[in-house]
């Protein structure tokens, strides 16, 4: 691994400094244990690590109201993936069309710019009226949340192709369809994947909130339901799981980004 | 030899500026480039040289006049006119090999033939050991060598080069000039070369067109052959030849008169 030989501005991940990541997590754990052992925070508000771990095991084995922990996770992931993937497929298609065709751009631009600034959760009431609290209602919401983000990033990626690269391709004998496929699309790919990363984050956040409003399963619903019975331990397990999954999804997309586009930033 | 011919016939170009006042950048340019000639267009930056190249490449439509290659009017970009840009304009998502074979692939040439041609040309410019390299790992000189190969694979009638060595350091620039002359002599292609460097123009060219500031016209034309002696002489000897220095000073004084 090459490293820049100066102090600030080296952005090459955290390689070689992982130990500090562990140290910070261990410090958090120690503070947590001390606070609980000394009974500074009541168990009701902030349960000890041991009871959280115990609850995690129990949720995994016995489950919570009809589904095991991983059952709830699976349901949530299914909703996120269905909404995210449908939003991505259609978003990339619409974004490409807007990027290359002025008429399509003029037609769809006001529609997307008007619905995009509305926080996705604001659609929940109307979606419940239309689709009830089924899986379809959550997937529709997540589709809406991811679609606009991906459209905008795809379109920007398509339009970012340098004039000279287009000219080079045409003067090398490429036909318009070939320029689209072999120059404009690959040039837009990093932007598209960045859009997908952002959309994934938005989807995950929207899903958990949506499940809290209208659902009877899923990890977000589990947390909300448990809080009604003051089961703080279950709530904490749920929050940690949500954080870990959101982080894991982003790491996965970042890994893909690095593998597929090592030329980013050049 | 002597078959292909590029005619630039009374070409002029007027751009519409942002505040809608017309801006004349090229004024009645007329000249002829024949196969085997190394035509250099020399002029101060911003004089419209690049516009002329863009018209010859078919990227821009001239306001008046016409450019034709072998009596066929230029109406758009085409593989028979290869272009090398100052920035290289390489495709960073492809490898060195992928960039080099691009034109052949677009034109549906079978893989075996592509491989043979690309490998030959990459070896010729000294990129044979870098075929699988990503573009971002190449130096500036390597990028321009690849850009040249990329346009050469199509076997164009003419190569249009827009200040291809302008961003390189003096040492690399010398090497690139030598390499270009070698390839030009080997293939006998006509070259349309743009530069604002008088020494580069005199060293490389056979026909030098000196252009004034915008709206550019051809102020003067020189026919030289300093690179003929390249095999028996060396670069520094050629560039310190009294005749070379005399012409360099003459052109420089013309340009400074025009701009000053």
Q: Model confidence at A104, in pLDDT bands (50, 70, 90)?
A: very high
Task: Answer for the pair A197, A257: CB distance below 8 angstroms, yes or no.
Answer: yes
Q: Is residue B175 part of a domain?
A: yes
CA distance B122 to chain A (A): 17
Looking up residue B63, the CATH number of its domain turns out to be 3.40.50.300
Interface of A with B in 187-206 (CB under 8 A): 187, 189
Q: Is residue B16 part of a domain?
A: yes
Half-sphere exposure of B28 (CA within 13 A, CB side): 1
- Indicate the number of domains in chain A: 1
Q: Is residue A236 part of a domain?
A: yes
pLDDT at A171: 96
Task: Answer for the pair B39, B205: CB distance below 8 angstroms, yes or no.
Answer: yes
Which chain B residue has its CA at the smallest distance from A188's CA?
B93
Looking up residue A143, the CATH number of its domain turns out to be 1.10.3720.10
Which residues of B are less than 8 Å from A174 in CB distance?
102-103, 106
d(CA B222, CA B36): 16
Which residues of B are less than 8 Å from A164 in CB distance?
85, 87, 89
Question: Across the interface, do B134 and A170 touch by the CB < 8 Å criterion?
Answer: no
Half-sphere exposure of B199 (CA within 13 A, CB side): 14
Task: Answer for the pair A83, A142: CB distance below 8 angstroms, yes or no.
Answer: yes
Q: Is residue B108 part of a domain?
A: no
Question: Across the interface, do B76 and A170 touch by the CB < 8 Å criterion?
Answer: yes
Q: Is residue A2 part of a domain?
A: no
d(CA A96, CA A73): 33
Q: Is residue A240 part of a domain?
A: yes
Question: Across the interface, do A174 and B57 touch by the CB < 8 Å criterion?
Answer: no
Question: Across the interface, do A168 and B85 touch by the CB < 8 Å criterion?
Answer: yes
Q: Is residue B129 part of a domain?
A: no
pLDDT at B235: 80
Report helix angle A185-213 to A124-131, nearest 10. 80
Q: Is residue A1 part of a domain?
A: no
Which residues of B are less than 8 Å from A266 in CB distance?
92, 135-136
Q: Is residue B191 part of a domain?
A: yes
Q: Which of B82, B93, B136 sits opposite A171 (nearest CB)?
A: B82
Interface of A with B in 120-179 (CB under 8 A): 162, 164-165, 167-175, 178
Question: Across the interface, do A183 and B91 touch by the CB < 8 Å criterion?
Answer: yes
- Indicate the number of domains in chain B: 1
CA distance B18 to chain A (A): 19
The answer, for A261 touching chain B at a CB cutoff of 8 Å, is yes
B215 prior amide bond cis, ω within 30: yes
Question: Across the interface, do B59 and A174 touch by the CB < 8 Å criterion?
Answer: no
The answer, for A260 touching chain B at a CB cutoff of 8 Å, is no
Which residues of A are less than 8 Å from B151 in CB distance?
171-172
Q: Model confidence at A163, in pLDDT bands (50, 70, 90)?
A: very high
Choose between B228 and A170: higher pLDDT.
A170
Q: Is residue A28 part of a domain?
A: no
ipTM exceeding cut-off 0.90 for this assembly: yes
Characterize the bridge pairing of strands B5-16 and B64-69.
antiparallel
Q: Given the structure tokens 């659902």, which residue do they identify?
A: A215
Interface of B with A in 163-222 (CB under 8 A): none
pLDDT at A183: 95
Please give the average per-residue pLDDT across A103-110, as a whole number: 94
Q: Is residue A31 part of a domain?
A: no
Q: Domain limits at A249?
A: 47-260
In the three-class reduction of DSSP (H, G, I as helix; E, B as strand; rest coil), residue B215 is classed as coil
Please give chain B's pLDDT, 260 residues, in tens. 458 999 999 999 998 888 888 888 898 899 999 999 999 999 887 778 899 999 999 999 999 999 999 999 999 999 999 999 988 899 999 999 999 999 999 999 999 999 999 999 999 999 999 999 999 999 999 999 999 999 999 999 999 999 999 889 989 999 899 999 999 998 889 999 999 999 999 999 999 999 988 788 888 899 998 888 777 777 888 888 889 999 999 888 877 766 54
Which chain B residue has its CA at the smallest distance from A169's CA?
B103
Task: Answer for the pair B49, B55: CB distance below 8 angstroms, yes or no.
Answer: no
| Residue A265 reports pLDDT greater than 60 | no
Burial class (CB within 10 angstroms; exposed 0-12, middle 13-18, buried 19+) of B170: exposed
Question: Across the interface, do A169 and B106 touch by the CB < 8 Å criterion?
Answer: yes
Task: Answer for the pair A75, A218: CB distance below 8 angstroms, yes or no.
Answer: yes
Question: Across the interface, do A167 and B85 touch by the CB < 8 Å criterion?
Answer: yes
Q: Domain limits at B76?
A: 5-80+156-259
Q: Is residue A266 part of a domain?
A: no
Return all residues near B82 (Cβ < 8 A) that are at least 6 apart: A171, A172, B151, B152, B154, B156, B158, B159, B160
Question: Across the interface, do B81 and A183 touch by the CB < 8 Å criterion?
Answer: no
* DSSP single-letter state for residue A4: -
Q: Is residue B230 part of a domain?
A: yes
| Residue A150 reports pLDDT greater than 70 | yes
Return all residues near B100 (Cβ < 8 A) that are at least 6 apart: B118, B121, B122, B146, B149, B150, B153
Residue range A203-230, pLDDT digits in tens: 988 988 888 877 889 999 999 999 999 9
CA distance A250 to chain B (A): 23
d(CA B157, CA A243): 61
Q: Which of B85, B93, B107 sits opposite A173 (nearest CB)?
A: B107
DSSP state string for A106-153? HHHHHHHHHHTTS-GGGGHHHHHHHHTTSHHHHHHHHHHHHHHHHHHH
Q: Is residue A15 part of a domain?
A: no
Q: Is residue B59 part of a domain?
A: yes
pLDDT at A14: 58
The answer, for A117 touching chain B at a CB cutoff of 8 Å, is no
* DSSP single-letter state for residue B74: P
Which residues of A are less than 8 Å from B92 in CB distance?
263, 266
- pTM for this model (two decimals): 0.83
Which chain B residue has its CA at the smallest distance from A178's CA?
B106
């Amino acid at each position: 691994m090459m490293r820049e030989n100066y102090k600030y501005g080296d952005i090459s991940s955290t390689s070689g400094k992982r130990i500090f990541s562990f140290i910070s997590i261990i410090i958090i754990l120690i503070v947590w244990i001390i606070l609980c052992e000394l009974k500074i925070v009541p168990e009701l508000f902030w349960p000890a690590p041991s009871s959280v771990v115990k609850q995690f095991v129990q949720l995994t084995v016995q489950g919570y109201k009809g589904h095991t922990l991983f059952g709830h996770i699976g349901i949530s992931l299914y909703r996120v993936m269905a909404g995210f993937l449908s939003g991505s497929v259609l978003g990339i298609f619409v974004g490409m069309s807007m990027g290359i065709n002025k008429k399509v751009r003029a037609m769809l631009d006001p529609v997307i710019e008007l619905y995009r600034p509305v926080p996705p959760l604001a659609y929940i009431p109307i979606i419940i009226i239309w689709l009830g609290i089924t899986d379809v209602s959550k997937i529709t919401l997540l589709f809406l949340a991811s679609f606009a983000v991906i459209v905008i990033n795809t379109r920007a990626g398509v339009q970012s192709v340098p004039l000279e690269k287009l000219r080079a391709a045409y003067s090398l004998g490429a036909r318009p369809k070939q320029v689209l496929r072999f120059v404009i699309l690959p040039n837009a790919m990093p932007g598209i994947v960045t859009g997908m990363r952002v959309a994934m984050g938005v989807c995950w956040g929207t899903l958990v909130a949506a499940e809290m409003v209208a659902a009877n399963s899923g990890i977000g619903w589990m947390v909300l339901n448990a809080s009604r019975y003051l089961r703080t331990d279950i709530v904490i397990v749920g929050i940690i799981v949500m954080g870990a999954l959101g982080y894991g999804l982003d790491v996965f997309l970042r890994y893909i980004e690095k593998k597929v586009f090592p030329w980013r930033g050049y | 030899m002597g078959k292909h011919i590029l005619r630039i016939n009374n070409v002029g170009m007027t751009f519409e500026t942002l505040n809608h006042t017309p801006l004349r950048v090229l004024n009645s340019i007329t000249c002829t480039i024949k196969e085997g000639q190394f035509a250099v267009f020399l002029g101060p930056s911003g004089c419209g040289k690049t516009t002329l190249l863009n018209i010859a490449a078919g990227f821009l439509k001239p306001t008046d006049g016409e450019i034709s290659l072998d009596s066929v009017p230029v109406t758009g970009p085409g593989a028979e006119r290869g272009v090398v840009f100052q920035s290289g304009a390489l495709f960073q998502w492809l490898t060195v090999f992928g960039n080099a074979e691009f034109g052949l692939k677009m034109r549906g040439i079978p893989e075996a033939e592509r491989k043979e041609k690309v490998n030959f040309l990459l070896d010729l410019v000294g990129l044979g050991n870098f075929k699988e390299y990503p573009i971002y790992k190449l130096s500036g000189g390597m990028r321009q060598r690849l850009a040249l190969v990329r346009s050469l694979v199509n076997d164009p009638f003419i190569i249009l080069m827009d200040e291809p060595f302008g961003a390189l350091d003096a040492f690399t620039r010398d090497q690139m000039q030598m390499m270009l002359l070698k390839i030009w002599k080997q293939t006998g292609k006509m070259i349309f070369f743009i530069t604002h460097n008088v020494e580069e123009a005199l060293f490389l060219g056979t026909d030098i067109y000196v252009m004034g500031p915008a709206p550019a016209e051809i102020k003067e034309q020189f026919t030289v052959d300093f690179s003929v002696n390249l095999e028996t002489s060396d670069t520094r000897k050629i560039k310190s030849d009294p005749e070379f220095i005399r012409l360099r000073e003459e052109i420089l004084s013309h340009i400074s008169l025009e701009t000053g």
